[in-house]
């Protein structure tokens, strides 16, 4: 399976180059830190220190470029007084959220040595000690899932430095300079935001976003409640017609308060425009997709459309407003559909098990033996457990005995996302999904009870089913 690309220094430099070059970038793309379909990061800005801005290719389809060219000087970590090895870990593994201006609900910056001597938000300890605790915390690790845990050497780098007093050091990383007056950008082509599918005249995109209870056009005001889960309901905006979803894209408005979101397709009718505090338990709904920081949208292959024939959608947003006043937010998802149905219909299939009655340390396992006799193409996997969920794998046992891994990822209830997991399942292959928990676990629909599902998007729709009496696309062994 495709492991989400980790943010690295090269990426960071590419991003900075993109910003400093005088191109018409409306927003620098987030590096793909975690979830689903890492979209290639356009790096068409002026290269470091040369200042030849070319201004192509990010944002929407831009008109003739009006870029004035970058000044050509880049100083990446010049302002930081961190030792090099520490700076490198913090920038690549924490910097997306704990940067100079904290984002995605993170309570503090981790950019200069002095940050580590401050008290934590609840004042119980120093930030430095909290860092050591959280990078070793299996239940709530930093960085949070779906990002990979720190390696033991990254952990050692931070721990040794913090325990020695978190003293300033020096790091002369990449302070390239250059002159050069980049000429105007050429007109932008398809950028990181509008995909080919979105430009297809037969495709219509709808924004499902957080909004004020009184008006879909006004933002929601996020209260200061920590770890708030809030749900917004939408009737299918395209009406009763059958459509295929062909693409989706996260719309992230206020990145200081949004932590992550999940989009559900509901089996029951929903009240369009309604919103309510919610808990993360959605008994009758299936996950369409999820976003966490770094996640990008994901277009389906040209010949495939996703079945979204549920009766409505619930957009569940997890907020962390660490400020002292309510903050506006209109984040959500752009859902792109077509009435020209694609030749292949993909659907969400339920792998996993309902048989969960485990002592601490136990594992739940469900084997899917598809009854269909056609090859099934898997596009993506979206693990779903509840609060105790820690890790999910789905392995494939081929008819000839050979094993392949579909997905093997840490899980955090607070950051559920989709992963691109391309595989073809042939008749005779089976899929074994295994869930691990942080304590004794029992099946149920409440957040305090547990689940073990991998929502697999695959075609043909219904291709992974084992005749389950529980649901149409069930392949959970029951
Ligand atoms: C994707 C965003 C993201 C990344 C990446 C990330 N964090 Fe966090 N961090 C958060 C959020 C959100 C919170 C607040 C919620 C919580 O405590 O889980 C947080 C909280 C923390 C806290 C607790 C602070 C307190 O006041 O209690 C520490 C310590 C921390 N992060 C350290 C790190 C370190 C070290 C890294 C990198 C190794 C890192 N984080 C990477 C988002 C992130």
Q: Is the CB of 155 under 6 A from ligand 1?
A: no
Name the residue with the closest Cα to ligand 1, atom 36.
Answer: 94
Produce one character per residue of 300-320: b if its CB has 16 or more CB atoms within 10 Å, e if not.
Answer: beeebbbbbebebbbbbbbbb
Q: Is the CB of 94 under 6 A from ligand 1?
A: yes
Nearest Cα neighbor of 34 from 232, 212, 231, 296 is 296
Output the pTM of the full model.
0.70
Number of domains in the chain: 2
User: 391 with 407, same domain?
Assistant: yes
3-state secondary structure 299-323: CCCCCEEEECCCCEEEEEEEECCCC
User: 262 with 229, same domain?
Assistant: yes
241 within 8 A of 263, measured Cβ to Cβ: no
Name the residue with the closest Cα to ligand 1, atom 24.
Answer: 120
CA distances from 141 to 98, 132, 227, 412 (A): 14, 10, 16, 9
Q: Is residue 419 part of a domain?
A: yes
What is the structure's pLDDT at 200?
84
Q: Is residue 187 part of a domain?
A: no
Q: Is the CB of 121 under 6 A from ligand 1?
A: yes
User: 354 with 323, same domain?
Assistant: no
Name the residue with the closest Cα to ligand 1, atom 16.
Answer: 106
Q: What are phi and psi of 230, to 5 degrees?
A: -130, 135
Question: Facing residues of 177 across strands?
Answer: none
211/274 Cα distance (integer angstroms)? 9
User: 219 with 323, same domain?
Assistant: yes
Residue 134 alpha carbon, nearest atom of ligand 1: 29
Q: Which among 338, 353, 372 is the end of a domain?
A: 338
Q: Is residue 81 part of a domain?
A: no
Name the residue with the closest Cα to ligand 1, atom 14.
Answer: 106
CA distances from 221 to 225, 272, 293 (A): 11, 19, 20
User: 316 with 382, same domain?
Assistant: no
Cα(114) to centroid of ligand 1, in Å? Answer: 17
User: 471 with 410, same domain?
Assistant: yes
User: 329 with 291, same domain?
Assistant: yes
Q: Is residue 135 part of a domain?
A: no
Q: Is the CB of 159 under 6 A from ligand 1?
A: no
112/90 Cα distance (integer angstroms)? 10
Name the residue with the closest Cα to ligand 1, atom 2.
Answer: 97
- pLDDT in tens for each of the 478 residues of the chain? 433 333 232 322 223 222 222 222 233 333 333 333 333 323 323 233 333 333 333 333 333 333 333 333 333 444 679 999 999 999 999 998 999 989 998 999 999 999 999 999 889 999 999 999 999 998 889 998 878 899 999 999 999 999 999 999 888 654 444 443 333 333 333 334 556 677 788 999 999 999 999 998 999 999 999 889 899 999 999 999 999 999 999 999 999 999 889 899 998 888 999 999 987 666 667 888 888 887 778 889 999 999 999 899 999 998 989 899 999 999 999 999 999 999 999 999 999 998 999 999 999 999 999 988 899 999 999 998 888 999 999 999 999 999 999 999 999 887 778 899 999 999 999 999 999 999 999 988 776 788 899 999 999 999 998 877 677 788 986 5
Q: Is residue 285 part of a domain?
A: yes
What residue numbers bound the domain in which 241 lies?
A: 196-338
Q: Is the CB of 130 under 6 A from ligand 1?
A: yes
44 within 8 A of 75, measured Cβ to Cβ: no
Nearest Cα neighbor of 95 from 31, 148, 187, 140 is 31
Residue 143 alpha carbon, nearest atom of ligand 1: 41
């Amino acid at each position: 399976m495709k492991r989400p690309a980790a943010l690295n220094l090269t990426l960071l430099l590419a991003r900075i180059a993109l910003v400093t070059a005088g191109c018409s970038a409306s927003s620098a793309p987030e590096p793909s830190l975690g979830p689903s379909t890492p979209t290639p990061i356009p790096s068409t800005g002026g290269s470091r220190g040369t200042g030849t801005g070319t201004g192509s290719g990010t944002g929407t389809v831009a008109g003739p470029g009006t870029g004035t060219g970058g000044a050509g000087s880049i100083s990446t970590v010049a302002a930081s007084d961190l030792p090099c090895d520490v700076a490198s870990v913090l920038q690549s593994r924490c910097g997306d959220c704990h940067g100079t201006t904290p984002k995605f609900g993170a309570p503090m910056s981790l950019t200069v040595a002095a940050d580590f001597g401050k008290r934590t938000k609840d004042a119980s300890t120093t930030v430095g000690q909290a860092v050591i605790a959280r990078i070793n915390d299996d239940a709530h690790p930093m960085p949070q899932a779906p990002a990979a845990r720190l390696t033991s050497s990254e952990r050692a780098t931070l721990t040794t430095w913090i325990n020695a007093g978190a003293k300033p050091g020096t790091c002369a990383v990449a302070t390239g300079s250059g002159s050069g007056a980049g000429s105007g950008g050429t007109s932008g082509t398809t950028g990181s935001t509008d995909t080919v599918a979105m430009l297809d005249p037969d495709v219509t995109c709808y924004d499902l976003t957080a909004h004020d209870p009184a008006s879909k056009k006004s933002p929601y005001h996020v209260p200061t409640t920590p770890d708030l889960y809030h749900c917004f309901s939408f009737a299918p905006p395209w009406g009763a017609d059958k459509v295929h979803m062909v693409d989706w894209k996260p719309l992230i408005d206020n990145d200081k308060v949004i932590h992550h979101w999940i989009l559900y397709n509901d089996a029951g009718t929903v009240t369009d425009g309604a919103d309510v505090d919610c808990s993360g338990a959605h008994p009758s709904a299936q996950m369409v997709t999820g976003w966490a920081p770094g996640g990008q949208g994901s277009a389906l292959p040209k010949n495939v459309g996703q079945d979204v024939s549920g009766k409505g959608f619930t957009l569940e947003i997890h907020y962390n407003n660490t400020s002292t006043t309510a903050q506006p937010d209109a984040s959500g998802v752009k859902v792109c559909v077509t009435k020209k149905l694609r030749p292949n219909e993909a659907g969400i299939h339920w792998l996993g098990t309902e048989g969960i009655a485990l002592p601490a340390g136990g594992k739940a396992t469900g084997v899917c033996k598809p009854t269909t006799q056609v090859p099934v193409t898997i596009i993506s996997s979206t693990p779903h457990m509840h609060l105790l969920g820690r890790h999910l794998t789905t392995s494939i046992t081929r008819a000839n005995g050979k094993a392949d891994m579909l997905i093997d990822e840490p899980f955090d209830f607070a950051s559920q996302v989709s992963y691109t997991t391309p595989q073809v399942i042939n008749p005779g292959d089976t899929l074994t999904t295994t869930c691990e928990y942080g304590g004794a676990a029992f099946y149920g629909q409440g957040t305090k009870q547990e689940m073990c599902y991998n929502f697999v998007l695959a075609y043909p729709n219904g291709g992974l089913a084992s005749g389950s009496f529980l649901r149409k696309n069930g392949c959970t062994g029951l």
